[in-house]
Amino acid sequence: QKELEDLKNEGDAKVEETLRVKQAELENLRRESESSIETLSANFKSTEQILNQRHTEEVKEQSSRIMQLEEEQKIAKLEYETRIEEVKQKIEVRKLSKSEFETLYSVFKGKAINADVSCKITLDMNDPKDRELIKSLYKLRLPTINRIMINHINVDDEDVKQFLSHSIPDQLGCLLFNYETTHHLDLAN
């Protein structure tokens, strides 16, 4: 019985020793697992930060590129508008002969004139016929006449600006407008 008891005690000791070893191994595995999880979590966070940083940098680069393209588009538009304006300016201003102007005047005003050096014309910008006459004279210079009087000019009247820029004859005795109205003076200048 003593032998049996010793064998039992010896078996219990071996089981306890095996249990302790297995518990220690289990504890080591748990610690290693936690360490691996922490390492994986840290790696994931690091990778996530790197990806977020790359994404942020890509977004910044794309935003910068968009702004650069918008600026290039503005410059291209300005260049286009400048070229259009240059083309408009290159359109030659042709001087009308006396008879050509008399014919145009007669068509628009419904009355004949003698467009010589003593000729005096009056243009009323409230009269649609007069407005159409000056529009038809775009890039056409009038023959030498004595006087042009322009009435009822509106602020920033493009038709009058074009007429004054291109159609006034090389020799003109007098240009009349309402000199008391500031915008008329600006247009004349």
Beta bridge partners of 141: 95
Q: What is the pLDDT of residue 184?
A: 53
Residue 145 DSSP one-character state: E
Mean of pLDDT values over 158-181: 79
Answer whether residue 54 shows pLDDT above 80.
Answer: yes
Answer whether residue 73 shows pLDDT above 90.
Answer: yes
Answer whether residue 132 shows pLDDT above 90.
Answer: yes
Q: What is the pLDDT of residue 70?
A: 94
Q: What is the pLDDT of residue 127?
A: 92
Mean of pLDDT values over 75-96: 80
List Cβ neighbours of 170 (8 Å cut-off, separation of 6 or more).
95, 141, 144
- Cβ 159 vs Cβ 129: under 8 Å: no
More reliable by pLDDT, 133 or 11: 133
Does this model's pTM top 0.75? no
